[in-house]
Structure 1
Amino acid sequence: MLIALISDIHSNLEALQAVWREIGGEDVILCMGDLVGYGPNPNEVVEFVRGRMEERNFLCIRGNHDNAIAFGAEWGFNPYAREAVRWHQRVMSIENLEFLRRLPVRGLFKDDAGRSYLMIHGSPRAPLDEYLFPWLPESEFRTVLGYVRQDDLLVGHTHVPMLKLINGRRIINPGGVGQPRDGDWRAAYALINTDEEPPDNVEFHRVEYDVEETARKIVEAGLPRFLAERLFEGY
């Protein structure tokens, strides 16, 4: 079984399409949230995901930007993110907003080898909001796994790829599809191959996409220019 991990698409249709050309044939797609926010194509991204979820084994949970746009929960957001949230609320269809509202905050999955996964956007302690950055001390990751009964924890939110191994259990972040923040502008995703033995059966991948087109659409939509400029630098 091949399991594709994606997260933080952020209304970037070009990045999503580029990643999908790489992973569209995998057995399972697991998405750790933030379909929307920041980018110029929220309706198109949600409709893309909705269609694929109806066709195949595609599980998706809710991220903090999904939550903010669906429920108006924008407190704590920086001015650029808040402006994007309000723009999204104006342009998104009722059907797509309802889809975001129905997304679960947590997801469970078990692969064909019997390994179990907990999907959460942030962390088990604060599912929508806590950032698990790779540079945190190992003691922090041990504490986080104390809240998890499953073998592995799958997260997003930081837009930074990560694999932490703690006593045979893993915390995996595939990085950001639509707005990477690790200095590499290319869209990020990860693959788990259950035909190989864990913990070494995870691969991280990057794929180029038409970043200039996405940036152009951000500016034309009247969103903050910073949201377009940051895409070229991967931060």
Structure 2
Amino acid sequence: MKIGVISDTHGSLFYTKKALEKLGKCDKIIHLGDVLYHGPRNPVHETYKPKELAEFLKRLDIIYIRGNCDSDVDCMVTEADIYTKERFLDFGEVKIYAVHGYEESLDERVKRAKEFGADTLLFGHSHIKVMDNIDGINVINPGSTTLPKDGTNSCAVYQDGKWEFIEL
């Protein structure tokens, strides 16, 4: 199974397309939130095209998590379920607890992943890549496709039983 993970696209059609292109054919794509709006703390970047991104995303089968910059109107214009703040996803070989990651501490997220019986915690929000193992839980933040705070636009992929980053 191949699972692509993107987060914090913040309205960039260019970087979203680039991430999906780099990921290639995936069985599932998960978006960890902050889909269209650039947010009040972020600059309006030169690739900011939320209307065009919404139209592009309508054609794709993506599992979404609601981020702190996502709103009801984002769900309407993408025609997607961006209402859910957390999801447990059981893909057999990998069990994922996914959340944007702005309302709770990392310890609370790990605890919640354990409660769901997940082996992997996916979260976004910080715009900083994380790949760790805490108490037997794989902890993955793919960073930001659009506004990285660690210097590199990125996403993540699960394939052949392992997680890795893809730099854009």
Name the TM tier (shorter chain). Answer: 0.7 to 0.9
Return the index of the structure with the highest Cα Rg: 1
Cα drift, residue 106 of structure 1: 1.4
The 1:111–1:155 alpha-carbon spacing in structure 2 relative to 1, beyond 3 Å, is same
Segments of 5+ residues of structure 1 without an aligned counterpart are 72-91, 133-140, 208-235
Specify the alignment match of 2:158 in structure 1.
Answer: 192
The secondary structure found in structure 2 opposite 1:51 is coil
The match for 1:147 among 112, 121, 127 is 112
Contact 2:65 2:82 in 1 (8 A): no
Higher strand share: 2
Matches within 5 A, 1:28-43: 28-38=28-38, 39=44, 40-43=48-51
Q: Percent identity?
A: 27
Query: How many Å separate the matches in 2 of 1:202 and 1:101?
Result: 25
Q: Does 1:159 align with 2:127?
A: yes
Q: Once the two structures are superposed, what CA deviation does each residue of 1:45-72 show, in whole Å capped at 9, x if it has no partner?
A: 122222102xxxx2111111113xx37x
State the Cα RMSD in Å: 2.3
Specify the alignment match of 2:100 in structure 1.
Answer: 121
Matches within 5 A, 1:23-102: 23-38=23-38, 39=44, 40-53=48-61, 58-67=62-71, 70=72, 95-96=76-77, 99=79
Query: How many Å separate the matches in 2 of 1:147 and 1:192?
Result: 21
Query: How many Å separate the matches in 2 of 1:14 and 1:103?
Result: 24
TM-score, L = length of structure 2: 0.82
TM-score, L = length of structure 1: 0.60
Higher helix share: 1
Cα drift, residue 24 of structure 1: 3.7
The match for 2:166 among 163, 188, 205 is 205
Query: How many Å separate the matches in 1 of 2:82 and 2:16?
Result: 21
Query: How many Å separate the matches in 2 of 1:147 and 1:108?
Result: 10
The 1:16–1:116 alpha-carbon spacing in structure 2 relative to 1, beyond 3 Å, is same
The 1:95–1:30 alpha-carbon spacing in structure 2 relative to 1, beyond 3 Å, is closer
Q: 2:26 is aligned with what amino acid?
A: E
How many residue pairs are counted as aligned between the two chains?
157
The 1:102–1:21 alpha-carbon spacing in structure 2 relative to 1, beyond 3 Å, is closer
Q: Once the two structures are superposed, what CA deviation does each residue of 1:175-213 show, in whole Å capped at 9, x if it has no partner?
A: 1011111023xx2101111x33xxxx1111111xxxxxx
The 1:103–1:142 alpha-carbon spacing in structure 2 relative to 1, beyond 3 Å, is closer
Contact 2:22 2:166 in 1 (8 A): no
